[in-house]
Amino acid sequence: MGDSGKSSLQVEPSDEQATRFKMPVDSEQKATEFWLFSFAAPHMQAFHLSWFSFFCCFVSTFAAPPLLPLIRDNLNLTTTDIGNAGIASVSGAVFARLAMGTACDLVGPRLASASLILLTTPAVYCTSVINSASSYLLVRFFTGFSLASFVSTQFWMSSMFSPPKVGVANGIAGGWGNLGGGATQLIMPLVYELIHHIGGTRFTAWRIAFFIPGLMQTLSAIAVLALGQDLPNGNYRKLEKAGDKHKDSFGKVFYHAVTNYRAWILALTYGYCFGVELTIDNIVAEYFYDKFNVNLRTAGMIAASFGLANIVSRPGGGFLSDWISTGYGMRGRLWSLWVVQSIGGVLCIVLGLMHNLSAAIAVMLLFSFFVQAACGFTFGVVPFVSRRSLGLVSGMTGGGGNVGAVITQLIFFTGSRYSKETGITLMGVMILCCTLPISLIYFPQWGGMFCGPRADATAEDYYAAEWSDEEREKGYHSPSVKFAENSLREGGRRRRPSPTVPVEATPTHV
């Protein structure tokens, strides 16, 4: 009973020894290093497949805004129509991300993400034949569902990379995916101009342009299916068939996610880094165009640079989160998340107060770095909240991000109650307020922002508590145990010896 060492041996596949990985791995076969420019299967290959397919989803979701000057004339749209469609584009993913989290837990990230991406590409292709405000809203709504592939990206990285590297893997995958929101502001106008130059009329050229993001999505999803793999050892179905992986039940996964208060807090705070990022993606071009009288192309370039900062800012957040945890463990991750996101809030307040163009651009770039790094820091913490319900917790956090985008757009940027600059400043204040709950997150084995860990709490207890006694008897919780072993570093450098994994003792309930 509770002999985790023995049961994990029983669960490991017999051809385990024959599996050779190019990369060094831990006991869960997760990579302990991160080689950015390698395509080594399965770890780095999974990384490149997931970030690129997620990038394509962002390109499609935000493909319309840079072409709006054409679309709004072609379809006779009003500002209200455009605003509603902008909200619709980010609201679809709220529930899609939750569903995606569960799907990852149940069928694996490869099938879950590829299914979502392939099923949303029709909406992208159909954007070329819309002819009214309502059809415009519908295609943006359904295309926006593809943003749920964020969850599968994070889940996949958390399955492939060991805790010391999970922050940087999640950060780069998430950041380079979010990059699509900036890249599309450059790609779409370029494609449009090319087609227009070849000979289409204005109102046909933009329609043809939408086939590019559509094709990118289709091809990247097929690559995920053909080349990707859920876990280092294989795909879910094969492993479940061979009895190497226990097929979990939706009810249990759901229960352990929604009863974990940390998941809810992270969902809220993510709404005020990532949600704010999405809001800015939708409004910043117009803001600079109207307030500073720059032309549309300049406004588009400024808008693009906000998203392009993601190349380094979000990965930087993930990397710094991992680096801080070597010295200060989980408490360091939590503190740095709070500090970075709060600075982002302050910069947002300042941005709305800038009346000079170059100062506004400088503040905006600084703001983009901090707010996107905060996203990276958040997903340095998420993989540790739950092991059993990792997918759903990632989904809740991701969904919370989109809820934040919907709420901020509704409160501050719809109608004419606030001017855009006042809206931006008030949004900064809201960021500061909604970041405070991070101080309430507490891990018994590692501590929280203001409290140290409990002496008798262990990581193994924390993760094993998600499984009932019968399940533990059958050894279903062994991946959680291995994860706990590999997370010892989250205790930080402590004077007392780190708690060892008790092999003989009965696990205590936390």
Say if residues 481 and 501 touch (Cβ distance below 8 Å): yes
- Measured from the CB of residue 351, what is the shortest distance to other proteins in angstroms? 21
Residue 6 or 241: the one with the smaller Cβ distance to other proteins is 241
- 323 lies in the site for other proteins, by CB under 8 A: no
- 222 lies in the site for other proteins, by CB under 8 A: yes
- Measured from the CB of residue 77, what is the shortest distance to other proteins in angstroms? 8
Among 249, 293, 356, 508, binds other proteins (CB under 8 A): 293
- 290 lies in the site for other proteins, by CB under 8 A: yes
Residue 231 or 349: the one with the smaller Cβ distance to other proteins is 231
Among 11, 13, 138, 238, binds other proteins (CB under 8 A): 238
Give the binding range for other proteins (CB under 8 A) out of 47-55, 74-82, 403-411, 441-449.
74-82
Q: Distances from the Cα of 65 to the Cαs of 62, 134, 185, 364, 474, in angstroms?
A: 6, 16, 8, 19, 53
Per-residue x/- track, 154-193, other proteins (CB under 8 A) = ----------------------------------------
Among 32, 38, 135, 204, binds other proteins (CB under 8 A): 204
Among 5, 69, 243, 452, binds other proteins (CB under 8 A): 69
- 122 lies in the site for other proteins, by CB under 8 A: yes
Say if residues 376 and 171 touch (Cβ distance below 8 Å): yes
Among 6, 35, 36, 119, binds other proteins (CB under 8 A): 119
Residue 94 or 137: the one with the smaller Cβ distance to other proteins is 137
- 208 lies in the site for other proteins, by CB under 8 A: yes
Burial of 348 from C-beta contacts in 10 A (0-12 / 13-18 / 19+): buried
- 259 lies in the site for other proteins, by CB under 8 A: no
- 294 lies in the site for other proteins, by CB under 8 A: no
d(CA 30, CA 62): 34
Residue 58 or 192: the one with the smaller Cβ distance to other proteins is 192
- 411 lies in the site for other proteins, by CB under 8 A: no
Dihedral angle, C-alpha 398, 403, 405, 409, nearest 10 °? 170
Among 147, 166, 221, 382, binds other proteins (CB under 8 A): 221
Say if residues 177 and 153 touch (Cβ distance below 8 Å): yes
Residue 205 or 431: the one with the smaller Cβ distance to other proteins is 205
Residue 22 or 72: the one with the smaller Cβ distance to other proteins is 72
Give the binding range for other proteins (CB under 8 A) out of 180-188, 235-243, 459-467, 495-503.
235-243
DSSP H helices, 354-419, are 357-381, 390-412
Three-class DSSP labels, 437-455: HHHHCEECCCEECCCCCCC
Residue 25's DSSP bridge partners are 31
- Measured from the CB of residue 64, what is the shortest distance to other proteins in angstroms? 15
Among 36, 193, 241, 452, binds other proteins (CB under 8 A): 241
Which residues 6+ apart lie within 8 Å of 37 measured at CB?
Answer: none
Which residues 6+ apart lie within 8 Å of 415 measured at CB?
Answer: none
- 125 lies in the site for other proteins, by CB under 8 A: yes
- 225 lies in the site for other proteins, by CB under 8 A: yes
For 5, list phi and psi in degrees, rounded to 5. Answer: -60, -45
Residue 127 or 269: the one with the smaller Cβ distance to other proteins is 127
Among 95, 211, 254, 292, binds other proteins (CB under 8 A): 211
Q: Distances from the Cα of 363 to the Cαs of 286, 306, 359, in angstroms?
A: 17, 11, 6
- 67 lies in the site for other proteins, by CB under 8 A: no
- Measured from the CB of residue 130, what is the shortest distance to other proteins in angstroms? 9
Among 2, 214, 232, 399, binds other proteins (CB under 8 A): 214
Give the binding range for other proteins (CB under 8 A) out of 115-123, 302-310, 457-465, 468-476.
115-123
Residue 483 structure tokens:
């994860």
d(CA 313, CA 249): 37
* Site size toward other proteins, by CB under 8 A: 42
- 177, containing H or E segment: helix 163-198
Which residues 6+ apart lie within 8 Å of 219 measured at CB?
Answer: none
DSSP H helices, 62-162, are 68-74, 79-107, 109-126, 133-144, 149-160
Which residues 6+ apart lie within 8 Å of 284 measured at CB?
Answer: 302, 303, 306, 364
- 301 lies in the site for other proteins, by CB under 8 A: no
Give the binding range for other proteins (CB under 8 A) out of 71-79, 382-390, 439-447, 475-483.
71-79
Q: Distances from the Cα of 36 to the Cαs of 43, 56, 152, 389, in angstroms?
A: 11, 19, 19, 28
d(CA 200, CA 188): 15
Residue type, 108: G
The residues binding other proteins (CB under 8 A) are: 69, 72-74, 76-80, 111, 114-115, 118-119, 121-122, 125-126, 128-129, 131, 201-204, 206-208, 211, 214-215, 218, 221-222, 225-226, 235, 237-238, 241, 290, 293
